[in-house]
Amino acid sequence: MSTDDDLSRGSLLALFHEEAQTQARALADGLLALEHAPSDPAALEACMRAAHSLKGAARIVGLSDGVAIAHLMEECFTAAQRGMLTLEPAHIDELLAGVDLLLRVGQMEPSRAITRAEIDAFATRLAGAGSPSPAGADPSTSVTPARPVAPSATPAHDETAEAALLRTAHALLQAEAPAPAKLAHEPAEPRAPGVSNPMLRVRADHLDKLLSLAGESLVEARWLKPFAESMQRIKRLQREAARTVDNCYDSLVKSLETPALAVLDEVRQTLGHMQQLLGARIDELDGFDRRSTHLAQQLYDEALQCRMRPFGDATRAYPRIVRDLARSLGKSVRFVVVGESTQVDRDVLDQLDAPLGHLLRNALDHGIETPDERRSLGKPAEAVLTLEARHSAGKLLISVSDDGAGIDPERLRAAVIARRLADETTAARLSHQELLEFLLLPGFTLREQVTDLSGRGVGLDAVHEMAKALRGAVRLFNEPGQGMRVVLQLPLTLSVMRALLVQIGGEAYAFPLARVRRTLELDRDAIDMLEGQQHFMFEGRPVGLVTAHQLLGAQAPGQARAGVAVVVVGDEHGTYGVAVDRFLGERTLVLQPLDRRLGKIKDIAAGALMENGDAVLIIDVEDLLRSVEKLVRGGQLDKVRRTQDAAAQQRKHVLIVEDSLTVRELERKLLEKRGYAVTVAVDGMDGWNALRGAHFDLVVTDIDMPRMDGIELVSLIKRDTALRNVPVMIVSYKDRDEDRRQGLDAGADYYLAKGSFHDEALLDAVTELIGEA
């Protein structure tokens, strides 16, 4: 190749490697089809053409080892086309190995370079693969070349197939690659569809920037609409002014002299002309608004589409992986991919490789039975493993399903008990779906022994973590004896997000809609206290209530609304209601990554621009839940006001310190019903911490409690100069005189025995100590 060629050898190698990737996919797809239908003419023709195209490309670049490998494969396909060779699984194994060798041709790394010994071994294995040729066929010509490559490469008629392949390989390796001009006798083969189309490589960050600018242009275009509306208001004001002038003219026409009437008439005409001009300009502005918004929307949609790729781009290697793994396990599997054209955000697609690999391996190793086992169960010997992608309800659904054994619920239940994740009583009450959730836990596995494929319990856990990182979820569906299906529910794109907009402290924030379980307007009377924390009933169980103002450091509004706007977030492991100021509706937001110099902002994932240009911060729900758990453990959660009137905060505040849930809740409800504000603590230590963080008018405490008993608590209160004047009432089962004396000597102001306890006795005692609420 002369030095004045248009392309350098380096660029030619790059082009060859790109074509090799495309043709290798075509070869792999065709070979997998031929394994099920060895004489399929279309598959044989596609494989033959792909091998021939690679041979020609390798010859042009001067890669003699690539020419040799591709030629051996091409002759094998030609022999199969002529009926001289029946392709068997052993042939497919070796031909797929040939595809792997072709992908290594021309690699500069020494570790990936092909040796002549590897090519010789490939030729030997390919010649010896499979059973003898069909009756009537000459075995010596079953895989001999269909046409000579060089005079020395023509085999003798009594030469064996193995010898012919070996000799052909050596001849090709020794031959020098001819110049491109000498290839005129070679037939022009059509290239694969994807190769002939012009392609341009664009950096991912450039596409991200383009999408960001398109989103900003869409926001800017929508500014015209409110401007046009303001112009319409000016037009209406001008019309009213003209009407006023007309009325003045009509009323003064008889009293004014002719010069004054002429001036007034001129004013009328000027106003009318201005109104016509303004109307025409407003019409032009309205048309420009429609066109610019439409163009900006088109630009944004096209920029967004640039990020989308077909799901099939992520599945190219799976048929080969499934086929090889199934054969190594002694299983017969037909792999089906549905929805290859489904459009997926490239960032989502890049995250799918490892999780889908885990799911496919799990199905092959855990779920699908061997052919003999399937026959004994009345199933077809060949199992079906399906990978499907589709859009549904604004989400991307990816499922991996098989028709294997599924999971035995009782075996799973026994594994849960054996790993001490639940006791026998609790495990017996778990539903089938609840049992399946244990499969998503880190380290959980049904395998007793670890193999090179499974047994460490990281597969489904890794899938679950990936789904959560992408704001998605994993759903498991199991039919014992019939198979299992794992469904990934993911966002269509990571660049655009459907979100719930809320107002917190006068600022707009967004909750990813995929992470919101429910929104509700909660009546303040429905807020209850349980274990020292505010709760409300949701789906039949109490759910903790927290304030977004405390979590995000925002200022709470001065005037409380009649109800509380609550966003319910979380999952089966933890659910909370987050109280916000108000709901602003749902929006589709274009995500804007925050400046890297800011680092990770607590509880915030990204930013976005709303249609009016205002910035909005997007909540990181996972981070938010961690913040809530931290506040719960520290007992530092702020309370949502239980009444609308701010004056209600002036009610007298009672602290109940009681380790019995029943007694604690009874006392709380009695006092709240009478109008007192109540806070509860579960033991003396909890009560002491509460006293140091808020003002209380009365403490009602038990004696026998863990960590710190009531006598010690009373003593601490009476020794503290800031708290010694707070009245303390002891309510205890201990009813002996010495018990009363001990409590009163410690400093208690009142002692009430639970044995003689009744509603009015408690309320009368509280009223006696601090008065009405």
What is the DSSP track for 168-210? Answer: HHHHHHHSPPPPGGGGTTS--PPPPHHHHS------HHHHHHH
Average pLDDT estimate for 52-57: 80
**618 and 705 share a domain?**
no
In a domain, 427, yes or no: no
Give the pLDDT band (50/70/90) at residue 156.
very low
**160 and 302 share a domain?**
no
Average pLDDT estimate for 626-637: 76
Give the pLDDT band (50/70/90) at residue 560.
low
**31 and 162 share a domain?**
yes
In a domain, 526, yes or no: yes
Are 144 and 167 within 8 A, CB to CB?
Answer: no
pLDDT at 3: 42
Calculate the average pLDDT of the chain. Answer: 77
Please count the structural domains in the chain.
5
CATH number, domain with residue 348: 3.30.565.10
Which string of DSSP letters, residue by residue, matches 62-119?
T-HHHHHHHHHHHHHHHHHHTTS----HHHHHHHHHHHHHHHHTT--SGGGPPPHHHH
Are 322 and 286 within 8 A, CB to CB?
Answer: no
Are 706 and 726 within 8 A, CB to CB?
Answer: no
pLDDT at 256: 62
Average pLDDT estimate for 319-324: 86
pLDDT at 12: 67
Give the residue carrying structure tokens 């855990």. Answer: 366
pLDDT at 532: 63
Q: Using the predicted structure, report yes or no on whether residue 92 has a pLDDT greater than 90.
A: no
Bridge partners, residue 564, by sequence: 522
Helix and strand tally (H, E) in the chain? 24, 23
pLDDT (tens digit per residue) in 246-283: 777 666 666 666 677 677 777 777 877 777 777 777 77
Q: Using the predicted structure, report yes or no on whether residue 76 has a pLDDT greater than 70.
A: yes
* Identity at 342, one-letter amino acid code: T
Q: Which residue has the higher pLDDT, 150 or 168?
A: 168
**211 and 187 share a domain?**
no
CATH number, domain with residue 737: 3.40.50.2300
**592 and 722 share a domain?**
no
Cβ-in-10-Å burial (0-12, 13-18, 19+) of 75 comes to buried
Q: Which helix (H) or strand (E) holds 398?
A: strand 395-402
**594 and 715 share a domain?**
no
pLDDT at 2: 44
Give the pLDDT band (50/70/90) at residue 218.
low
In a domain, 349, yes or no: yes
User: What whole-number percentage of the chain has pLDDT above 90?
Assistant: 10
Of the candidates 596, 589, 548, the residue with the CA atom closest to the CA atom of residue 569: 548
Give the pLDDT band (50/70/90) at residue 768.
confident
* Identity at 47, one-letter amino acid code: C
**Sign (positive or negative) of CA dihedral 242, 248, 254, 260:** negative
**Residue 368: helix, strand or coil by DSSP?**
coil
Cα 303 to Cα 54, 214, 215, 216, 297, distances in angstroms: 35, 7, 9, 12, 10
Give the residue carrying structure tokens 């010495």. Answer: 738
Q: Using the predicted structure, report yes or no on whether residue 386 has a pLDDT greater than 90.
A: yes
**Sign (positive or negative) of CA dihedral 214, 220, 221, 226:** positive
Does residue 648 come out as left (phi exceeding 0), alpha (psi in the -120 to 50 range) or beta?
A: alpha
Instruction: Give the span between the Cα atoms of 608 and 216, in whole angstroms.
Output: 10
**Residue 143: helix, strand or coil by DSSP?**
coil
442-481 in b/e form (b: 16+ CB < 10 A) is eebbbeeeeeebbbebebbbbbbebbeebbbbbebebeee
**173 and 263 share a domain?**
no
Domain boundary among 472, 491, 510: 491
Give the residue carrying structure tokens 């021939």. Answer: 52
Give the pLDDT band (50/70/90) at residue 182.
very low
Cβ-in-10-Å burial (0-12, 13-18, 19+) of 663 comes to middle
Q: Which residue range(s) make up the domain with 660?
A: 651-770
Give the pLDDT band (50/70/90) at residue 109.
confident
**599 and 672 share a domain?**
no
Give the pLDDT band (50/70/90) at residue 299.
confident
pLDDT at 459: 66
Write the DSSP symbol of residue 379: -
In a domain, 645, yes or no: no
Average pLDDT estimate for 427-446: 82
pLDDT at 152: 37
pLDDT at 151: 36
Are 606 and 593 within 8 A, CB to CB?
Answer: yes
170-179, 351-360, 368-377 — most confident range: 368-377
Average pLDDT estimate for 303-313: 79
pLDDT (tens digit per residue) in 229-239: 667 777 777 77
Q: Which residue has the higher pLDDT, 231 or 352?
A: 352
pLDDT (tens digit per residue) in 619-631: 888 888 888 888 7
Q: Quick one: tokens of 153?
A: 């490469």
Single pTM value for the model: 0.51
Q: Using the predicted structure, report yes or no on whether residue 160 has a pLDDT greater than 60.
A: no
